[in-house]
Chains A and B, each alone.
Chain A
Amino acid sequence: MEELDTATGTEETESHFMGMHTEQLTGRSMTTFFSAEEAENFTYATAYEVDFNKRAEFECAEMEVRDINLKIRELMEQGHGTIVLKNPMAKHGVGVGILNRLNLIVEGSLGYFGVGLIDGPNVRISGRVGWSCAENMMAGSVVIEKNAGSTFGAAIRGGDLVCKGNVGSRTGIDMKGGTIIVGGKTGAFSGFMMQRGRMVVLGDAGKNLGDTMYDGTIYVGGKIEGLGTDAVEGEMTELDCKWLKRKLDIYGMAAPNGVENMKKIVAGKQLWNYDNLEPAEKKLVL
């Protein structure tokens, strides 16, 4: 295991070293020039002032998706900071586009594209989620107690997305930041074209893991059926272990064989073909 350089091993340096500061902020805006020390907290101009102690709940079984989402917005507008959705019956597109601080509790299962495009809420789901849960999530957290479908956390940019059960294939496809944690297995092509962020799989991973990943890190606790193109095994460091332990502790999870025995998958960067030349210039050189 690679030793952490203790000379610069302060908490702040470690987190900077692992990119955690910038990760935290990239979810807040498409702009990449936020400073970690920025005094004011970024919020959307349209965000509602909510009180987490003000709680509302409603039954979703007989409601249309549009009405459910409008109701969430209406309750936030009234200042409710904790909202409970009961029995959404695996409907699609529930809880999308929430750009607000909010405790959203889902008692039941969501269908496709559940809580996609969110920026800020903390979501707990007692059931299962379908394909593309939390797609393009920017910040906040989503914790699912049961299983999840394919393309889990597609293109997420920030925040924590946690599934305590098994997930389908192509988990974290096109992932651009944030953290995905899977308590069980993940299917084929997980981390496909991953660009940034971290994926933690406590169980097994299917074939073509990390296929053509540009960057980012995948940790796997179980067996890996096969690595994808340009995905290679990296060396676990003390810092990796510390980060994994801390992150898993937050969600009451643990690596079955200990974090130090997890495998670390990173980009081999053999497919990196970047240079400073524009295509037209490149033609001239070639």
Chain B
Amino acid sequence: MCGIAGLIHRGKPGDVGSEMTSMLQSLKHRGPDSTGFALYGNPDANQYIMRFKVAEQDEVSKGFDIHHQIPIRRSKVDERLAERNAKVITADAATEYAFRYTIAYDGDMRGLIAYLEDIDNVEILSVGHSLELVKDMGDATVVSDQYHLKGFNGTHGIGHTRMATESDVDIRSAHPYWAYPFNDVAVVHNGQLTNYWNSRRALERRGHRFMSNCDSELIAVYLADRMDQNDDLEGAMTRSIDELDGVFTYLVATSDQLGMAKDVMAAKPMVLYESDEFVALASEEVAIRSVFREEIDTFDPYEGEVRVWKS
């Protein structure tokens, strides 16, 4: 089933960490397997925020030698960053296996990421000037507490509660997906894509990388491919309605935009609240009402609809 949610503050930033936690916790019944957040803080053009993991959570709880392997894998990342002259400004361990680095780098970012992911078990979750992508097992409160997201000040965010139907229950298959290699672009999705393998093969032939077998990752890669061909976000999303088969509703965020798209059958839910100060979207109104206690006007976007808002 899965639940998705997103919000954008128009004008001034707010505590998107707490707001998204509250919204996603309200959608827990739609997907208890994992929860993910893509939050957008205050951008700094001089540095990149890189979120990556070197192991899966269940590996940590079951693996025989894993506690020894994790520091080795991380040190390999550090070595390769140094080798490519990427300056690490801060290096924080969000968990034993997931890390947040800020780096200064003026080289080929796509090449750098490919070089880092060449290390066994290393996955770059996101890179950007304002994007912080966090995903892990458990409900929104668990993940939010684990990664200290409450109090995160930012302009917008999207998130996902996952009920695994077509791929594994692990961080790799959890949402959001970063639209590698585009800085600050992330996607969450509720639905099923029926032309996944055909589209994936076509995109792989064009040089794109897939880290999971989850059909939702295809949307992120598809949008990245379209933007690589100079489509703007709205144009890429509009095209996706025709080119992606299946039933889906997805949200996409960039450094300053939030967008939603709904397939032509309108088979997956989405409720929208829009005001001059705030836009909130979720699979169910109950998530929006967790942020707005007072009575508000909401509505369902229609089939084949694409909308984009700016922060």
Which A residues have a C-beta under 8 Å from some C-beta of B? 61, 89-92, 108-109, 111-112, 126-128, 130-131, 146-147, 149-150, 165-170, 185, 187-189, 206-207
Q: How far is the CA of A234 from the CA of B85 in the complex (A)?
A: 74
**Do B299 and A112 touch across chains, with their CB atoms under 8 A apart?**
no
Residues of A within 8 A of B299 (CB): 128, 147, 165-166
Q: How many A-B residue pairs have CB under 8 A?
A: 71
The 8 A CB mask of B56-84 against A (1 = contact, 0 = none) is 00000000000000000000000000000
**Do A90 and B302 touch across chains, with their CB atoms under 8 A apart?**
no
**Do A187 and B271 touch across chains, with their CB atoms under 8 A apart?**
no
Q: With a 10 A CB-CB cut-off, give which of B264, B284, B288 has the most chain A CB atoms.
A: B284
The 8 A CB mask of B272-290 against A (1 = contact, 0 = none) is 0000000000001110110
Which residue of chain B has the shortest Cβ distance to A168 in the bound complex? B300
The answer to whether the Cβ of B106 comes within 8 Å of any Cβ in the partner chain is: no
Q: How far is the CA of A127 from the CA of B285 in the complex (A)?
A: 12
CB distance from B283 to the nearest CB of A (A): 10
**Do B285 and A128 touch across chains, with their CB atoms under 8 A apart?**
yes
The answer to whether the Cβ of B112 comes within 8 Å of any Cβ in the partner chain is: no
**Do B285 and A109 touch across chains, with their CB atoms under 8 A apart?**
yes
Residues of A within 8 A of B295 (CB): 108-109, 126-127
Residues of B within 8 A of A189 (CB): 265-266
CB distance from B287 to the nearest CB of A (A): 9
Residues of A within 8 A of B265 (CB): 169, 188-189
The answer to whether the Cβ of B167 comes within 8 Å of any Cβ in the partner chain is: no
Residues of A within 8 A of B293 (CB): 61, 89
Q: A108-B295, A127-B295, A146-B297 are in contact. Are A187 and B266 (CB under 8 A)?
A: yes
Which B residues have a C-beta under 8 Å from some C-beta of A? 264-266, 269, 271, 284-286, 288-289, 293, 295, 297-300, 302-303
**Do B300 and A147 touch across chains, with their CB atoms under 8 A apart?**
yes
Q: Closest 8 CB pairs between A and B?
A: A90-B285, A168-B300, A169-B266, A188-B303, A147-B299, A90-B286, A90-B289, A89-B289
Residues of B within 8 A of A147 (CB): 297-300
Which residue of chain B has the shortest Cβ distance to A146 in the bound complex? B297
CB distance from A29 to the nearest CB of B (A): 33
Q: How far is the CA of A126 from the CA of B298 in the complex (A)?
A: 13
Q: How far is the CA of A160 from the CA of B192 in the complex (A)?
A: 35
Which residue of chain A has the shortest Cβ distance to B298 in the bound complex? A128
Q: How far is the CA of A166 from the CA of B167 in the complex (A)?
A: 37
Residues of B within 8 A of A206 (CB): 302-303
**Do A111 and B286 touch across chains, with their CB atoms under 8 A apart?**
yes
Partner of B285, one of A111, A126, A169, A207: A111
Partner of A130, one of B264, B266, B285, B303: B285
**Do B266 and A149 touch across chains, with their CB atoms under 8 A apart?**
no
**Do A90 and B269 touch across chains, with their CB atoms under 8 A apart?**
no
Which residue of chain B has the shortest Cβ distance to A184 in the bound complex? B299
Residues of B within 8 A of A90 (CB): 284-286, 288-289
Residues of A within 8 A of B284 (CB): 90, 92, 111-112, 130
Residues of B within 8 A of A92 (CB): 284, 286
Residues of A within 8 A of B288 (CB): 90
Q: How far is the CA of A111 from the CA of B297 in the complex (A)?
A: 13
Which residue of chain B has the shortest Cβ distance to A170 in the bound complex? B266
Task: Identify 10 new A-B residue pairs, CB closer than 8 A, beyond the known A61-B293, A149-B269, A170-B266.
Answer: A128-B298, A130-B284, A146-B297, A147-B298, A149-B271, A169-B302, A185-B302, A187-B303, A188-B266, A188-B303
CB distance from A154 to the nearest CB of B (A): 14
Residues of B within 8 A of A91 (CB): 286
CB distance from B167 to the nearest CB of A (A): 26
Which residue of chain A has the shortest Cβ distance to B269 in the bound complex? A131
Q: How far is the CA of A167 from the CA of B266 in the complex (A)?
A: 12
Q: How far is the CA of A286 from the CA of B269 in the complex (A)?
A: 45
Q: How far is the CA of A188 from the CA of B300 in the complex (A)?
A: 12
Residues of B within 8 A of A126 (CB): 295
